Structure 1
Amino acid sequence: MQIGNILFAASVAATASALPSTQSETFNVVSIHSGSDVQYDGFNAAKSSILAGLKSQGASCARPKDQDATFYIKDGALYLYAASATPQEIYVDRSGMGQGKIGYTTGAQPAPKNSERKGWAIKNDHLQFAGNDLIACPNSIDGAWSIWASAGVANPGGNKDCVGIAARIEKTSKPNSCLYTE
C-alpha cells in the first residue's frame, strides 16, 4: 500500500512538472530615450491606459506607495499582475482609428473592435509589440506620457512631440498585486 502511494505521488509530481506554467516572470517597465523627459520613467496603468511617469495610478494595490505597474506575458498576451482571479489584459489597436492605442480591459470585458491581444514579447530585455519598440507621447494627465504601439504614425492620436522608446523590463521577484482603474 505504501509503495502504491509513493508511485501515485511520483506520478502526480511528474505530471505537474510537465504542465506549462500559467504565467511568466513578473516585471516592471522603464522607458528609455536618452535626452528626453520620459527617460527612466516607470510604466503605470490608469483609466484603461498605459502611461509613463504618472505620479499616482489611483490603483488598489497591496503596496500602495509603489506606483509602477507590474506586468507578465502569457502565450504572447500581456497582463497587469494581480493576485486575484480577475485578469486585466492589455490590447493594442493598430487600425487607422486606433493608430497604436494601448489599453487594457478587466475580467470578461471584450477588447475593442480592431484590437489585438497577442504579439507581445521581450527581446534583449525590452518589451515589444509585433517586433517593434513603443512610442511615448506627452500627456495632460499629471505630466505623464501616454504609451503607444508602433502603427506607422509618428504622433498617434493627435499627439505632438512623441518619441520612440525602448521599454526596458526590470524583473521583480516581489510583484505588487493591483487592481487598476478602468
Structure 2
Amino acid sequence: MFFKNLALAVPFFAGASTAMPQTAPGAPLSPGATFSLMALRSASEVHFAGFEAAKGSLLLKLPSQNASCDAGPADHATFFLKDGGLYLYAASATPQQLYADRSGMGQGKLGYTTGAQPAPRNGERTSFALDEANDLTLNGAGFIACPNSIDGAWSVWVSAGVDQPAGNEGCLGISARAVEVSNPNGCLYTE
C-alpha cells in the first residue's frame, strides 16, 4: 500500500517542482550578459524576491519602481557587469552605476548614481562579480536585506560586519542570484 501511494505521489511532486523558481546554479553567465537578481533566503518573506531599483537604492518587494522604461513598466531591475562595475541596464538612458559604502559611516549602504554623479566618499564601484553559482558578491561579501523601507519594501545592503545597518531591525543575510534576461527592458530609475 505504501509503495502504491508513493508511486501516485511521485508524478505529482515531479510536476510541482518544475513550476517553482529554479535556483540551482547553471552555467556561468557570459561576460556582458544582462540579468535580474533574485534574493535567496529560505523560509523568509524575501525568498525568491526580485531586486528593484528606486530613489538611489536597491530594494526587495517594492510595489512599484516608478522607472521610465523603453518597453513599459518593469517589475524588477536589470543589471550588467563591466570591468568589475555593476550597472543598471539602459539601452537609451543615462548610465546608472552601483556603489557600496562599507565604511563605518556607510555600514554597507548599497546605492546607485546617475551619469557623471560621483560615488559617495567611501563608495566602492569596481569589485562586483558573479561566483561559480551566479551569486553576486562585492569583493567576496554577500548581502543583507532589512524590512520597513520605502513603501514597506526591504532595503538591500552589502554585508560590512554590521548585522543591523543604520539601526534597522529584523535584517537577514541573503544571497543575490543572477538570472539571465534575454530581452532586457532598458530603464532610467529614480534618484
Which TM-score band (shorter chain)?
0.7 to 0.9
Paired amino acid for 1:46: A
Question: Which segment drifts farther, 59-68 or 82-91?
Answer: 59-68
Residue 85 of structure 1: how far off its partner (Å)? 5.4
Paired amino acid for 2:58: I
Alpha-carbon distance in 2 for matches of 1:64, 1:158: 36
Alpha-carbon distance in 2 for matches of 1:48, 1:99: 16
Paired amino acid for 1:107: G
Post-superposition Cα deviations, 1:121-163, rounded to whole Å, max 9, x if no partner, equal 0011111111121110102322211000011000111100100
For normalisation by structure 1, the TM-score amounts to 0.85
Q: Secondary structure, in 3 states, of the residue corresponding to 1:142?
A: helix
Q: CA RMSD in A?
A: 1.1
Q: Secondary structure, in 3 states, of the residue corresponding to 2:166?
A: helix
Q: Which residue of 2 aligns with 1:6?
A: none
Residue 86 of structure 1: how far off its partner (Å)? 1.5
- Equivalent in 108, 124, 146 of residue 137 of structure 1: 146
For normalisation by structure 2, the TM-score amounts to 0.81
- Equivalent in 49, 60, 65 of residue 57 of structure 1: 65
Q: Secondary structure, in 3 states, of the residue corresponding to 1:161?
A: coil
Does 1:84 find its partner at 2:95? no
Identity %: 59
Number of positions where the alignment pairs a residue of Structure 1 with one of Structure 2: 160
Q: Which runs of 5+ in 1 are unaligned?
A: 1-22
Q: Which residue of 1 aligns with 2:169?
A: 160
Residue 56 of structure 1: how far off its partner (Å)? 0.1
Residue 73 of structure 1: how far off its partner (Å)? 0.5
Residue 91 of structure 1: how far off its partner (Å)? 0.5
Does 1:106 find its partner at 2:114? yes
Does 1:119 find its partner at 2:156? no
Q: Which residue of 2 aligns with 1:14?
A: none
Paired amino acid for 2:148: N
Alpha-carbon distance in 2 for matches of 1:77, 1:92: 11
Residue 66 of structure 1: how far off its partner (Å)? 2.4
Q: Which runs of 5+ in 2 are unaligned?
A: 1-30
Alpha-carbon distance in 1 for matches of 2:96, 2:148: 22
Alpha-carbon distance in 2 for matches of 1:165, 1:102: 14
Query: After TM superposition, which residue ranges in structure 1, 4 or more long, deviate above 4 angstroms?
Result: none
- Equivalent in 84, 95, 105 of residue 97 of structure 1: 105
